[in-house]
Each structure stands twice: as C-alpha cells, then as structure tokens.
Amino acid sequence: MLRIRIRCCKYSVQVAENYLHNFQHLLLYSTNSSNQNPKFPNQSYTNYLIDNLGFSHQQAHSISTKLYYKFDDAHFSKFSGNANSVIHFLKQHRFDNTHIKKVVSSYPQILSANVDQTLKPKFKLFQDHGFSESDLVAVIFSTPSIVSKRMDPAIRDLRAILGSTENLIKFFRKPNLSISPSGLVNLNSNIALLNKEYGIDINVIRNAILQFPGSYLTNTDVFENIVVRVEKELGIPRNSGMFTYGIRLLCGSSKKSMESKCEVFKSFGWSEYDVSEVMRRNPLLFLMSEENIRKKLDFLMTEMGYKPDFLARRSVLVGLSLEKRLVPRHRVVLVLKEKGLLDYNFSAAVRKSEKQFLKILIEPFKEDAPGLLELYQSSKGCSNVDALS
C-alpha cells in the first residue's frame, strides 16, 4: 500500500511539472503572438498620447488599444497628422487640455475624426440651433461620442419635442447621453403614448425627459409595458405627480432589485401596506442602494423613534441626505432643546430649505448658543450622531 501511494505521489508531481511546462510554453507563445498582432498597439501611439496630451504610460497604452488603425509606421503618420488637426480644432473652440484629455479618455476615436467632414459640420449644426461654444464644450465633454452621431434632422425634431432651445441645450448637456435615430423614434412614440392615451400634460413630460432622458428613449413596446406596470404594480395613478417617477423607477430597476429593497423595509418592521404606500408616494426611494436605505431607516427609526406608518406618509424624510441634512439638523435641534431655547419639530426642520433653516434655527440664537453655526457646518458629512456629542 505504501509503495502504491509513493508511486501515485510521484505520478502527480510529474503531471504537475508537465502541466506547468506546457502552460509556460503556451504563455510564451501567446505573448509573442500578441507582439506580432497588427492590432497590438504600436509604441508610437502610446508615446503620442503621452507627449501631446500628458497621459501616463498606463493610460496611453490602454487608450491606444481602442484606436482603429493598423499599427505600423505609415498608418501612425496618418493618425498623428489627423489627431493634431482634431486637437487644434478643439482648442479653437475653447476646449482646454483637461477637456481634451477627458474626451479622448472616454472616446479615443475622436482623434480619428475628420475635422472638415465630421467635426466642423457637427459644431455648426449645434451652433445653428443656439448652442454657444461653452454649451458645446459641456455637451461634448459629457458625451464625447455624440460627434459620431448623425444629428440632422434629429436635432430639429428634438427642438420641437422639448419646446425651446433652452430645453434642447439642457437635454444635450446631460452626462453620458446615448441617443440614436431609433432612440428618437422611440422618444416620439413614447411621448405620444403618455400625452394622447394617458392624458399627461406635455410640460410634465418635458420635465421628466429633461430629468431622466434615458427612460424615454426606451423601446416603445418595453416602455408601454412599463407604463402599464406603474399603475397596476406600483399603484400610482396616471394623474399623480409621481407617475413619471414610477416610470423612472421601473426603467432603472429590475424586479429582483426592487424586491430586495422591499425586504430591507420589512426587516425594520414595515408591513406590506406600509411598503406599498411609500413606493406609491415616493418611488425614487427604491433607486437608492440597500445600504443607504438601511442606514436612513436605522437613524430615523432607531435614533429618532419614527414608526413605519409615519415615515410611509412622510416619505420625503427617507429621501433626504443622511450626512448633509438629517444628522446635522438633528444636532442643531438637539442643542436648542437642551439649552431650552426652542423646542422645534425635527420633521419640520429637515424639510426647510437651507436659507429657511439658517434664518429660523441658527441666526436668532447666535448669542445664546455660540458656535451653533460652526457645529452645524462641521456636522455635515458625519452620519453618526453619537460621534457628534
């Protein structure tokens, strides 16, 4: 038996050695093949990005792999000449080095764009529709790939949909906007569905598009199903101001994600009715992370003592920032109560605007509670009330 075991061990070691030898050979072959691959980045491209745009070697190497050129000297010469023209054109239109680096990082293909045939016509099109140079910088900085999109006549249709040049500019300044001809067709159909079949005012729809443009570029069949679910599953009627927020929730969340977040509420003693009520009143709460929901409920229920039915009816409290609003204002109210200066309702205090809060709960007590403003300002960013004591 001992001999058999020894032989087995020797055999296992030999197999492992053979495997490692073969793996090393395969790795060496793979590395050599990569160096010979015409799609493997030529060092000239990496050096160009380092020397002309100030990228680190690692960044430049990563970006150069996304450039659609054959990596030889002849094509590099063509690339560098074109890239120089692109950079010069962008600088003429008030793009600084930071803007250009961000644009190239997000969309390296812009360096391959033809200035005369692509960039100049695209810039002129936007300018003809009222975009200033600073607007163009903001739009392309946010969504660089837009320079490759065919926007005429789409931009004219969008102007009619959104109702004004100002709204058109707001729309395009949204970060990471992804719009295509098919997306615009969807947008038209989805607006018609909401306006004509559901009776939602066009101004309400426009505001929703400007807040959450991606939701309204969704495939029309998918969008129609979502609209039906807002009423049936979320219980939000079409005449409610929360209806478009329900659309945003269902466009941005899977059923599994929403169910998981419902379970977080239930773990704090919320009934099915309470969860349904808060979702109906403030569907965007369910776009928060589970951790964020848990922290806010822990503060509002454990620290402040609020019950589920109270929070379900005042869902705005759960939507407020824990670090920037709930905790620092709680600390101010606590100090005022302890000093006998003012017994103010916390729920009302956190719902005040910043200007109103300072006017009502800070400024009148500068002498009787010195340092109150400093305490309030320093409390922002701290999510632990005990740490403020």
* pLDDT value at residue 70: 52
Q: Which amino acid is at 73?
A: D
pTM above 0.85, yes or no: no
Task: Give the span between the Cα atoms of 380 and 151, in whole angstroms.
Answer: 44
* pLDDT value at residue 20: 41
Q: Residue 45 in contact with residue 71, Cβ under 8 Å? A: yes
Task: Give the span between the Cα atoms of 186 and 251, in whole angstroms.
Answer: 14
- 130/69 same-domain check: no
pLDDT, tens digit (0-9, with 9 covering 90-100), for 234-259: 999 999 999 999 999 999 999 999 99
- Is the pLDDT at 168 greater than 60? The verdict is yes
Q: Residue 312 in contact with residue 337, Cβ under 8 Å? A: no
- Domain of residue 328 covers 320-389
- 341/312 same-domain check: no
**33 found inside a domain:** no
Q: In the structure encoding, which two tokens stand for residue 139, read together? A: 């739009």
pLDDT, tens digit (0-9, with 9 covering 90-100), for 218-234: 999 999 999 999 999 99
Q: What percent of the chain has pLDDT over 90?
A: 70
**117-144 b/e (C-beta count within 10 Å ≥ 16 → b):** eebeebbebbeebebeeebbbbbbbbbb
Q: Which of 316, 331, 352 is the last residue before a domain boundary?
A: 316
Task: Give the span between the Cα atoms of 342 and 187, in whole angstroms.
Answer: 52
- 309/360 same-domain check: no
* pLDDT value at residue 66: 82
* pLDDT value at residue 33: 37
pLDDT band at 195 (very low <50, low <70, confident <90, very high): very high
**24 found inside a domain:** no
**5 found inside a domain:** no
CA dihedral 190, 191, 192, 198 (to 10 degrees): 90
Q: In the structure encoding, which two tokens stand for residue 211, read together? A: 């807040």
Number of domains in the chain: 5
**58-95 b/e (C-beta count within 10 Å ≥ 16 → b):** ebbbbbbeebebebeeebbeebbebbebbbebbeeeeb
- Is the pLDDT at 297 greater than 60? The verdict is yes
pLDDT band at 64 (very low <50, low <70, confident <90, very high): confident
- 350/284 same-domain check: no
Q: Residue 155 in contact with residue 126, Cβ under 8 Å? A: yes
* Cα-based distances in Å from 198 to 78, 140, 193: 55, 35, 7
pLDDT, tens digit (0-9, with 9 covering 90-100), for 78-103: 889 999 999 999 999 999 999 999 99
Q: For residue 63, report the phi and psi dihedrals to the nearest 5 degrees.
A: -65, -40
**346 found inside a domain:** yes
- 63/130 same-domain check: no
**213 found inside a domain:** yes
- 284/347 same-domain check: no
Q: Burial-class residue 115 by CB neighbours within 10 Å (0-12, 13-18, 19+).
A: middle
**379 found inside a domain:** yes
Q: Which of 271, 296, 316 is the last residue before a domain boundary?
A: 316
Q: Which amino acid is at 318?
A: V
CA dihedral 277, 282, 287, 293 (to 10 degrees): -70
pLDDT, tens digit (0-9, with 9 covering 90-100), for 326-363: 999 999 999 999 999 999 999 999 999 999 999 999 99
* pLDDT value at residue 178: 77
* pLDDT value at residue 152: 78
**208 found inside a domain:** yes
- 223/240 same-domain check: yes
Q: What is the mean pLDDT of the chain?
A: 86
**32 found inside a domain:** no
Q: Which long-range contacts (CB under 8 A, 24 or more apart) does 327-330 make?
A: 327/299, 327/379, 327/382, 327/383, 327/384, 327/385, 327/388, 328/376, 328/377, 328/379, 328/380, 328/382, 329/357, 329/361, 329/376, 330/303, 330/304, 330/385
User: By C-alpha distance, which of 286, 188, 193, 206 is closest to 238?
Assistant: 193
pLDDT band at 41 (very low <50, low <70, confident <90, very high): low
Q: Which of 84, 113, 142 is the last residue before a domain boundary?
A: 113
